[in-house]
Amino acid sequence: MTTALPCPLCGSTNLSANLWILDHGEVDAVECNECYCGAPVTAWQNRASPAATIHATGHLTAWEYG
C-alpha cells in the first residue's frame, strides 16, 4: 500500500486502512484515528490540497449555522 497523505482535517498521520462495504461493492478507505474522518483512498489521495479541504469544511459549517 502506498503511504497515505496526512489527514486533511487535523493533519494527523495516525491513520488506519479499512475496507468499506458500499452499495456498489468494496472500496479501500483511509480513516483518521484522531478526528475520525475517513474517505475512499482515491479521494483521500487525490484531494486538491489540505487548505482547499479545510476551506470547504468551513463553508459547510457556516451553512449549517447560517
By CB under 5 A, tell whether 12 contacts Zn ion: yes
User: For 12-35, b where at least 16 C-beta lie within 10 A, e where not — what string?
Assistant: eeebeeeeeeeeeeeeebbbbeee
Tell me which of 13, 18, 28, 34 binds Zn ion, using CB under 5 A. Answer: 34
By CB under 5 A, tell whether 32 contacts Zn ion: yes
Radius of gyration of the chain (CA): 13
Q: How far is the CB of 23 from Zn ion (least distance, A)?
A: 25
Interface size with Zn ion, residues (CB under 5 A): 7
By CB under 5 A, tell whether 14 contacts Zn ion: no
